[in-house]
Amino acid sequence: MKTPNRRPGAMPAGADKQQEASPANSKVLTRRSLRHSLRESIESSLQALWYPRTERGGLCSTLLLPLSYVYARIVKRKLVQRLSPGFDDAMRPDCLVVVVGNITVGGTGKTPFLLKLAETLHTREYSFAVLSRGYGGSHVAHSDQPRWVSVDDDAAVVGDEPLLLATEIARFTDDTRPAVMIGAKRKQAMQKVLAERAALGVRTDVILSDDGLQHYALARDVEFAVVDDARRFGNRRLLPAGPLREPVARLQLCDTIILNGAAASGTLALEGQAALGMQLHLSAFRPLALPAANDPRQHSTESFAQALERADTVIAVAALGNPRRFFDALRELLQKTAPGKKLACAAFADHHAYCLADFEHLAGEHKGAGEAVFIMTGKDAVKCRQFADSMPLPSGVAEVEVDVHGSAFTAVFSGLQQLSAWREAQNRSLLSTAADDASA
C-alpha cells in the first residue's frame, strides 16, 4: 500500500432411493426452500440495483443514498486514520504482509488469484500462511479466537473459502500442515501464526491476507485489488445504494490492480490507473468423490469422464458472488469438449450451505430428460464432502487455470528482496553485538 509509514519493502430422492419423505423432513425441506428463495430474491434485487443498465440506476438506489452518506463518513474516517503517520503498531512482523481484496461486494476472482500467488511463492521456495475471516462459518460467529483450518474441517464451521484455500494449498504443496488461519481480527490471527510457527522452527516469509483490503488494523506492505472487468463498479455508489465498499479512488493506493476477464498481456488502464489482466479458464473435470468399492450404483463405480460422455444434460451448480462467470466459462468449455449437451444452470446464494436435499431436488427436476450429471466449482465441492458418496447423480468439479500478467507479482518479489536484505542486516548486527560481548 502506498503509504508514508510503511516498512521498506426438496424433491424425492434419486432412482435408487424412491421413498416418500416424512412430514418432518418435508417441513425441513420447505423451510430450507423458503429461506433459499428469499435470499435468492434479495440477492437478485440487489444485483439489479447495483449493476443497472443505466449508469446510476433507479429510484430505489437513490432512496438509499442517505445511508450511503453515513457509510461514506465511516469509510473516510477509517482511511484517514490508516494513512496517518504512526498509525501502525511499533511491532512489525519479520515477514512481508500482502493483502488481496477488492472495493466491491461480491465475487471478483480474489480466491483464484490468491491461490496463484501462493503457488508461485511455493514454487520459488518461499514460506507463506494465509489469513481469512472465515465468513459463513460458525467458528467466527461464536469465538473471537483464531484457529487453523485443516483439509478435514467442515465448511459449516470454518467457512467455504478458507476450506477451499486450505484444500488447494495442500494439493500443490503436498503438505498436510495447516497454512490457513481464520479469525475476525486479522492482527491477532497473524500473531498466532507467527508465534506458533516460530515455536516449531518454521520460517514465515509472507502473510497473505484474503479479502483484507478494508481490514486496516493489519499493517500491510503490498496491496492487490481485483476488479471484475465485466461488472466493474456498477452504479459507482457506496453501500447500500451501490456495490462499493470504498470509493473508486481507493484504487490509487493499491500497488497492483488486477482486472479479471481482461487479456493477460500488456498494461491496461482503469480509472486512470495501470492495471494488469487476468483470465480464468476451466481446464478439466475431476470427480467429486472417489467411489466406494462396495457401492452397487453404476454411477459410483465408473469414472466421471464416462458419465459426462454419456450425459444428455449437465446441471451446473454454483453458490458464488457472480455465478454467471462460471456458467459462461462452463458453457464455453462444453462447446469445445462435449458439444451438443444441454446446460442447465442452478445458482444459489453466495456461501449457501448445501444439503443432499438440494441436489435431490435438482435431480428430480431433470428426471425423465435423459441422463444428467452435476458440475460445480471447488468452492461448492468443499461443502458437499460429507454427502458426496450419496449424490443422486454423477458429480464433478471444474478445475480452474489462472492466466495472469507476467509482472503481476513484481511488487511481492521486490518486497521479498528488501525483506531479505533487512534480515541480513539484522543478522550482521546481532553477530557484531555477540562478537563485541565475547571480546569484552
Per-residue pLDDT band at 298 (split at 50, 70, 90): very low
Kindly tell me if the per-residue pLDDT of 114 is higher than 50. Answer: yes
Best CA proximity match to 259, nearest among 245, 279, 243, 281: 279
Domain check: are 100 and 242 in the same one? yes
> Distance between CA atoms of 319 and 244, rounded to whole angstroms?
21
Cell of 91: 511491532
Clarify whether residues 256 and 174 are in a common domain.
yes
Q: Is the pLDDT of residue 24 over 70?
A: no
Tens of pLDDT, residues 275-290: 999 999 999 999 998 6
Q: Read off the C-alpha cell for 337.
A: 469438449
pLDDT for position 56: 61
If asked whether residues 138 and 265 sit together in one domain, one would say yes
Average pLDDT over residues 344-360: 94
Q: Nearest to residue 260, comparing CAs of 39, 41, 107? A: 107
Domain shared by 143 and 208, yes or no = yes
| CATH number for the domain that contains residue 306 | 3.40.50
- Based on the fold, state whether residues 253 and 323 are members of the same structural domain: no
Residues 241 and 128 both lie in one domain: yes
Tally the domains of the chain.
2
**Mean pLDDT estimate for the chain:** 87
Residue with grid cell 470509493, as numbered in its chain: 247
Query: For the residues 79-108, what does the mean pLDDT come to?
Result: 84
Tell me the pLDDT tens digit for each residue of 69-83: 999 999 999 988 888
Q: Which of 216-220, 244-248, 380-384 has the lowest mean pLDDT?
A: 216-220
* Per-residue pLDDT at 12 exceeds 50: no
Positive/negative CA dihedral, 247, 137, 171, 374: negative
414 shares a domain with 308: no
Burial of 216 (0-12, 13-18, 19+ CB in 10 A): middle
Rg (CA), the chain: 24
Output 78 or 162, whichever has higher pLDDT: 162
Same domain, 412 and 366: no
What's the DSSP call for residue 238? B
In a domain, 218, yes or no: yes
- 256 located within any domain: yes
Run of H or E residues at 404: strand 395-404
Residues 268 and 311 in one domain: no
Q: For position 106, what pLDDT does the model report?
A: 86
Cα–Cα distance, 393 to 235 (Å, whole number): 40
Structural domain harbouring 187: 81-280+404-420
425 occurs within a structural domain:
no
Q: Contact 163/354 with Cβ under 8 angstroms?
A: no
Over residues 376-386, mean pLDDT: 96
Q: What is the pLDDT of residue 16?
A: 37
Same domain as 410, residue 389: no
- Has residue 147 got a pLDDT over 50? yes
Cα 282 to Cα 298: distance, rounded to the nearest angstrom: 27
Is the pLDDT confidence value at 302 over 80?
no
Percent of residues, the chain, with pLDDT higher than 70 = 85
- Count the neighbouring beta carbons within 10 Å of the beta carbon of residue 38: 11
What lies within 8 Å, CB to CB, of 244 at 6+ separation is 103, 104, 105, 233, 234, 236, 237, 238
